[in-house]
Structure 1
Amino acid sequence: MYNVIHVKRVAVLGAGVMGAQIAGHLINAGVDTILFDLPAKEGPANGVVTKAIANLGKLSPSPMAIKGSEGRIVAANYDEHLALLADCDLIIEAIAERMDWKQDLYRKIAPHVSDKAILASNTSGLGINALSDVLPIALRSRFCGVHFFNPPRYMHLAELIPAQSTDPEVLAALETFLVTTMGKGVVIAKDTPNFIGNRIGVFAMLAAMHHTEQFGLGFDTVDGLTGPLIGRPKSATYRTADVVGLDTLAHVVKTMADTLPNDPWHSFFKTPTWLQQLVEKGALGQKAGAGLYTKRGKDIMVLDLKAADYRNSDNAIDPEVLAILKERDPVKKFAALRASSHPQAQFLWAVFRDTYHYSAYHLADIAATARDVDFALRWGYGWSLGPFETWQAAGWQTVADWIADDIRQGKSMANAPLPNWVFDGRNGVHSPLGSYNPTTQVDDARSTNPVYARQRFPDPLLGESFAKGTTLWENDGVRLWHDEGDDIGVISFKTKMHTVNDHVLNGIQEAIRVAESQLRGVVIWQASEPFSAGADLAGALGLLKDNNYDAFEAMVANFQRTSQAIKYASIPVVSAVRGLALGGGCEFQMHSARAVFALESYVGLVEAGVGLLPAGGGLKELALRASERAGANGDVLAELKTAFESVAMAKVSSSAPEAKSLHLARPDDVVVLNAFELLHVAKQQARALAESGYRPPLPARNIRVAGDVGIATFKMMLVNMLEGYFISKHDYDIAVRIATVLSGGNVDRNTVVDEEWLIRLERQHFVELAKTQKTQERIAHMLTNGKPLRN
């Protein structure tokens, strides 16, 4: 019955921060959504909800993939609209973390819930079994916990927590919906306080706080040590606390203290004095403008407990410790950390040790397998590797012996022994067979839920590898491969950041020729982000500095040939885009028969930022599409306005749907929410095109252009910006050339041109710009500093 859940409408109960953003992300996923809350005490009854919906449009980063789409959420209140629940297939409760309030609400809604609907509580730690006690027997089998991490649009993790009465088929169906429709990475957690992610993640923060004081380190130093250097987010420990809110952190710690009285680490589940004092003062972190950090002018200041005041933040890391952390071999790195007498190294070893100790001790209590723990910390807290993965990489048995030795010497935070399974001769908890299950004491393979068949390359755990198919052809730039028996091939780039150089250009052209003779379709897809950061600027700058303009123009012409080869291939070429698709990367997907985007795709023709204009066919395609939208009698100039602004201002879309609104993607291009399903969907699209008798488009010979009127109109806009000092003179020159190409050159309005005409215009203006000193300065500055230069 529940192998697949057809969710047409969802109700979210509670319009607080999480409830509203869950509703917003459901809209991102194309799900009809009703958002409920209490009736307002004054004004319109739906006032509480309408205010929450309006606030979604003000948040940054935006919870919404399309600006203004929050208006599609239906506002409702519990007094007037409970009857709407009867048409909902899924109901997500997301009110405040009060057991009595949640149970009171369940009693109120139960008579209105469909006999097939699933009810899920988005609780961050309350008992799922206890919550279910007040539900009718018939509804208990369709109830479970689902814990989204904040912010729901961007955080990949969703924890599913079954109650004892939850039907396994219901759980599997909800997992399918979360994975494919909402794009989540799901872990199954046991019904214990704070579940998996927050149980281990908050403990790791508490361990860092304890050892900060023990080793006398500053908050900023600890953030320097516990950030990217050890595979954690830039916000590290204390900046994360400020972002989350110090009051929220204090509440979570108190919840742990209240609900885990028998935990061997219970004495550490308390808010430090300094944290309590900051909360009492209202210095709650980022939302209050001050917490552990504050900003004075342009300076970032950090709280100094000894001085009882803020000082300049410097994240000072001792060179000795920095050298240890840059060691690539994790075995040598951890040995050096433990052996070092430097307080910073001792601090790091202590934090790792106590996090490993806590994770191993509680594994059987909180999760079915070690895989769930590692994924929870990776997807919910942004760790590059989970705690068990880093332990295993550092040498499982050696590290286990060190931890046991520290426990015996009283150095660890608790004297609870490591579980026996840690010492059963294993080399870790992840193996080719699966991940350790402490209940069955065997390694469990990944989930057999059919939804995961859509992930050809799922997020790999330490030591996992997935066969990358059979190579059909490759050079130094790209590899063409396919799975045995599959008639759809894949082109993947080999370059850093998947930038485009001569090897990539020549490789794509040859790979398409090979694919045309052996396959029915091909997908351009990368195993990791980004899709492509654009052209190899270093190589281009080298040619310019050598005044080798003939070779430079030949490179541009080759770029254009590659785009045209993609467009006019005899088999469908589909681009599978996630992350950045900039410059040439954007142009490649524009020329594909179809593009499939992950929701988090950031697409842009950004050449203006380095003093150039798009010349891989991007402007040509924008002019062509404007002509097609205008039709025989429409206003081409009006259709060009958005495209001109997006290119001249080097705009990058904040999502795949926004790329469509910027005309950088087509209305019928596909958007998927789970990036791990991207290749599967792209191959299906290529196969569907092939099955429908795919023919490449006919050469475009009747492109109606805006001509001199278009150029003059765009110039008027630019003159105002130049005179208002919003753009520089060189910005103006670049934008005029962009306008010239988009408008088809200095020809009469509504002149009909062909693709070759526009391609030549692109190449001409690109090369002329590249010869200027200011453009070459911009390219050099970008390569040196990673930021655009205004000159």
Structure 2
Amino acid sequence: MSRFNVKKVAVLGAGVMGAQIAAHLVNVKVQVVLFDLPAKEGPKNGIVTKAVEGLKKLKPSPLGVADDAALIGQANYEEHMEQLRDCDLIIEAIAERMDWKLDLYKKIAPFVAPHAIVASNTSGLSITKLSEALPEEIKPRFCGIHFFNPPRYMYLVELINTPTTDSHILDDLETFVTSALGKGVVRAKDTPNFIANRVGIAGMLATMKEVENFGLTYDVVDDLTGKKLGRASSGTFRTADVVGLDTMAHVVKTLQDNLNAETDPFYASFGTPEVLKTLLEMGNLGQKSKAGFYKKVGRDVLRFDLASKDYVPGGEKADEVYGRMLKKPAGERLKLLRESEGAQGQFLWAILRNSFHYAAVHLASIADTARDVDFAMRWGFGMSQGPFELWQEAGWAQVAKWIQEDIAAGKTLSSAPLPEWVFKGPVADAGGVHSPEGSWNPTHGKFEPKRVLPVYSRQHFPEAVRGSNAPSFATAGKTLHEDDAIRLWTMDDEVVIASIKTKMHAISPEVAEGLQLAVEMAEKDYQGVVIWSGDDPFSVGADLQAMLPAFIAVGVSAIDEAEGHLQQTMLRMRYANVPVISAIRGMALGGGCEIAIHSARRVAAMESYIGLVEVGVGLIPGAGGLTYIARRAAERQAESTHKDLLPFLTEGFTAAAMAKVGTSAIESRQLGYLLWSDIIVPNKDELLYVAINEAKAMFAGGYRPPHKRQFPVAGRSGKATIQGQLVNMRDGGFISQHDFHIASLIANVVTGGDVDPGTLVTEEYLMTLERQAFCALLTHEKTQERIMGMLSTGKPVRN
């Protein structure tokens, strides 16, 4: 891998993007200093200080934990320019004004280290023009770096070079952004709005135009263009509200100012929509001003009506027939939409056709390959498929014919014909732009494989475009055992990989059996076990739906037996003679959390959400989660000079009783579900690589499981203290009677039940208390209401 070592980063500009980029650098443990202008009044760092304080209040949080805002260095251009000399990377993120940026570059140039990369986080200004203000010695180290908002959560980063950028600079930066920041990198050409915003904003404008053509309401359009279409659940207009209508208008203006009818045959459709103009004039900027295309009044969500310039009742849904159409295979789906007589179906065909048409016409000018466009739209706009992937899946030649017919009939937004490569040559022969050889590069006239950089050897099964025939983890390696619930396999004959196959990776008795088998195999012939299931979530816990038939048929004894087996599985993993590693991404809830905490080590992606959430369905953790809380409290007390066990227990009890979930891997560490010895991996696609290497390293280091030890519990006096607090919460109306009952059972388990304080107990003893309470709750009417409510609606019932 490249040895470009980024020890410190400077971010210039403490606006929305600059401050959040700085926050994400802190999340991934990169030292960062945030610059802005000196304040006119008060402390000179006042502007930066205000921005850093503001980070703590933003939702979703840009920081893994809010207190880490203190780790962002604060500086201003008047007093602290010398600090730039220590920075390996300088990211400029000031307002989108060419003159301001050029002026700033002249000021910083004398302080830039000879090896440092300078990058502009512009969303659409010409990188080449920006570079012209830099001295000759800095130009080879200058490029564009375009983060998407919010930077912590958005996977896409576009890198843009200039004619004078050294090629190794982009390679070094791509390596850092991929592995250290955890992002998906696409290299874009230096054209207005680059790739994702160019295609995405053009698509939003085209959608708004088609909405006018077909007379649809915003709520119906959002219902059609959200999850049903394989796009972000917020659809079109809610997405605009979240992004900010002023931000959207700025990106639109960039297109308007930097393009014309000659450079973009779709230019006529780039006019600012009347509804957008009206909302901006009213000061309704979307979510940030609490009104945009939508406005929330009490519990009601109203939608804007352009005719009356007022808000009217919303919530209208699309016709169900189109929802059914959108579930059909791609080719059949597009045919049904194209031939539909209803306005909603015609609208859907029109926006899809427009996206295919626009992407094909502009591919050569904005990107190197079709893969870059599809990844940019997936990662930057939340699409499950990019436009070329969907077109190819639906039947390349047939869809191209339909588009060309619509162009000839004047139905499209532009009369520009599809490029010749669509119909003739390698693309036509291959049936699309993606093939096992690579993706289509229209400039070079050939299929090109993905860029090869050492950093990508850390990604065993990275995201791939449809048609590339990339290897799938589901069939990769050598299968050691496979059934409907789990696959045990190995890539290298050294580590067993356990991949759960159930829906949402829920834990069934068969999954537990498979995990025990994985440990058994590894102890005999391998160096360790890695629990990794390929995609989100890690596991949402026990399979309640599978549990109910046994409960109905046999009664609570069947559940007692199943829980006992699951508890034994957890102990089998904890005391295995080889390391068991949980490779976590996404949700690890309930039983998924219990698998993680009973592993020898956890390797977690940054965006991991870990917690014991059973109280939401009226239960308590039943597979060792509460036992873990009690044991960890005893271990932490033993490491301190504190004589009272209860303070070490309180946080764990509260987390379980309140169903607290860590909203990042960093916060999960604070809650105790991850330890400081565990590894947080910024890039989700590196998770398996790191986990396998961790298992091997632990084995090579002579790994032995912990001794089975007895440990002290807080006993009846600890339980009484917690119970008193619960009574106050119940009597104050903060929790229901059933919540009080569940929390009391949790308190009973974590304090060891009716025993003296300091009594030594075993894990098995506490697990018996867990299991008894779990089974007792299953027979409770209120718990049954919560379980049925969750299974039928997916939402917790408060009773």
User: Which TM class, normalised by the smaller chain length?
Assistant: over 0.9
Q: Would you say the 8 A contact 2:231–2:384 is kept in 1?
A: yes
1:481, CA displacement in angstroms? 0.3
1:220, CA displacement in angstroms? 1.5
1:758, CA displacement in angstroms? 1.4
Q: Pairwise mapping of residues 465-476 of structure 1 onto structure 2 (< 5 A)? A: 465-467=470-472, 468-476=476-484
1:474, CA displacement in angstroms? 2.2
The residue that corresponds to 2:464 in the other structure is 460
Q: Pairwise mapping of residues 589-628 of structure 1 onto structure 2 (< 5 A)? A: 589-628=596-635
- C-alpha distance in 2 between matches for 1:657 and 1:90: 24
Q: Pairwise mapping of residues 601-680 of structure 1 onto structure 2 (< 5 A)? A: 601-631=608-638, 634=642, 635-680=644-689
The residue that corresponds to 1:143 in the other structure is 142
Deviations 1:13-71 (A, max 9, x none): 00000000000000001011000000001110000000000000000000001121111
Q: Would you say the 8 A contact 2:284–2:290 is kept in 1?
A: yes
- C-alpha distance in 1 between matches for 2:663 and 2:29: 17
**What is the one-letter code of the residue matched to 2:153?**
Y
TM-score, with structure 1 as normaliser: 0.98
The residue that corresponds to 1:446 in the other structure is 450
Structure 2 residue 5 is matched with structure 1 residue 6: yes
The residue that corresponds to 2:756 in the other structure is 748
The residue that corresponds to 1:683 in the other structure is 692
Counterpart of 2:549 (choices 542, 546, 556) is 542
- C-alpha distance in 1 between matches for 2:674 and 2:773: 24
Deviations 1:718-760 (A, max 9, x none): 0110000111111111111111111112211112222222122
Q: Would you say the 8 A contact 1:598–1:656 is kept in 2?
A: yes
Structure 2 residue 117 is matched with structure 1 residue 118: yes
Deviations 1:393-448 (A, max 9, x none): 11111111111111112111111111111111241111111111111111111120
- C-alpha distance in 1 between matches for 2:278 and 2:795: 40
Q: Would you say the 8 A contact 2:181–2:683 is kept in 1?
A: yes
Q: Pairwise mapping of residues 284-363 of structure 1 onto structure 2 (< 5 A)? A: 284-327=285-328, 329-363=329-363
Deviations 1:68-120 (A, max 9, x none): 11111011000000000000010000000111111110000000010011100
1:317, CA displacement in angstroms? 1.7
Identical-residue share of aligned pairs (%): 53
Q: Pairwise mapping of residues 475-490 of structure 1 onto structure 2 (< 5 A)? A: 475-483=483-491, 485-490=492-497
**What is the one-letter code of the residue matched to 1:191?**
D
Aligned residues: 787
- C-alpha distance in 2 between matches for 1:509 and 1:336: 49
- C-alpha distance in 1 between matches for 2:737 and 2:287: 38
The residue that corresponds to 2:434 in the other structure is 430
- C-alpha distance in 2 between matches for 1:323 and 1:673: 38
**What is the one-letter code of the residue matched to 2:124?**
G
Identify the range of structure 1 (533-542 vs 675-684) with the bigger mean alpha-carbon deviation: 533-542
The residue that corresponds to 1:695 in the other structure is 704
SS of equivalent to 1:719: helix
1:539, CA displacement in angstroms? 2.5
1:274, CA displacement in angstroms? 2.2
- C-alpha distance in 2 between matches for 1:506 and 1:579: 23
Identify the range of structure 1 (569-578 vs 625-634) with the bigger mean alpha-carbon deviation: 625-634
403 and 476 in structure 1: CA distance in 2 versus 1, 3 angstrom threshold: closer
Structure 2 residue 62 is matched with structure 1 residue 63: yes
The residue that corresponds to 1:588 in the other structure is 595
SS of equivalent to 1:394: helix
SS of equivalent to 2:542: coil
The residue that corresponds to 1:718 in the other structure is 726
- C-alpha distance in 1 between matches for 2:98 and 2:585: 40
SS of equivalent to 1:576: strand
- C-alpha distance in 2 between matches for 1:495 and 1:274: 46
SS of equivalent to 1:217: coil
The residue that corresponds to 2:178 in the other structure is 179
- C-alpha distance in 2 between matches for 1:711 and 1:200: 60
Structure 2 residue 395 is matched with structure 1 residue 395: yes
Deviations 1:319-352 (A, max 9, x none): 433332222x110111111111211111111111
Q: Would you say the 8 A contact 2:13–2:19 is kept in 1?
A: yes
Q: Would you say the 8 A contact 1:544–1:771 is kept in 2?
A: no
Q: Would you say the 8 A contact 1:582–1:603 is kept in 2?
A: yes
Q: Would you say the 8 A contact 1:523–1:575 is kept in 2?
A: yes
Q: Would you say the 8 A contact 1:541–1:780 is kept in 2?
A: no
Counterpart of 1:764 (choices 772, 775, 781) is 772
Deviations 1:285-312 (A, max 9, x none): 1111111111122111111233443222
- C-alpha distance in 2 between matches for 1:408 and 1:549: 69
Q: Would you say the 8 A contact 1:4–1:176 is kept in 2?
A: no
Instruction: Give ranges in structure 1 of 5+ residues lacking alignment.
Output: none
Q: Would you say the 8 A contact 1:222–1:315 is kept in 2?
A: no
Identify the range of structure 1 (749-758 vs 111-120) with the bigger mean alpha-carbon deviation: 749-758
The residue that corresponds to 1:552 in the other structure is 559
**What is the one-letter code of the residue matched to 1:454?**
R
What is the CA RMSD across the aligned residues, in angstroms? 1.3
Deviations 1:470-490 (A, max 9, x none): 10112332111011x340120
The residue that corresponds to 2:190 in the other structure is 191
**What is the one-letter code of the residue matched to 1:720?**
N
Q: Would you say the 8 A contact 1:223–1:315 is kept in 2?
A: no
- C-alpha distance in 2 between matches for 1:204 and 1:704: 62
Q: Would you say the 8 A contact 1:185–1:379 is kept in 2?
A: yes
- C-alpha distance in 1 between matches for 2:323 and 2:614: 37
SS of equivalent to 1:137: coil
Structure 2 residue 788 is matched with structure 1 residue 780: yes
- C-alpha distance in 1 between matches for 2:47 and 2:28: 24
Q: Pairwise mapping of residues 201-216 of structure 1 onto structure 2 (< 5 A)? A: 201-216=200-215
TM-score, with structure 2 as normaliser: 0.97
The residue that corresponds to 2:71 in the other structure is 72
**What is the one-letter code of the residue matched to 2:535?**
S
- C-alpha distance in 2 between matches for 1:476 and 1:194: 46
**What is the one-letter code of the residue matched to 2:667?**
E
- C-alpha distance in 2 between matches for 1:545 and 1:160: 58
- C-alpha distance in 2 between matches for 1:4 and 1:162: 20
Q: Would you say the 8 A contact 2:518–2:529 is kept in 1?
A: no
SS of equivalent to 2:138: helix
1:620, CA displacement in angstroms? 1.1
1:215, CA displacement in angstroms? 1.2
Deviations 1:506-546 (A, max 9, x none): 11111221222221111000111100000011132333334
- C-alpha distance in 1 between matches for 2:105 and 2:489: 53
- C-alpha distance in 2 between matches for 1:344 and 1:754: 63
- C-alpha distance in 1 between matches for 2:781 and 2:722: 25
1:547, CA displacement in angstroms? 5.2
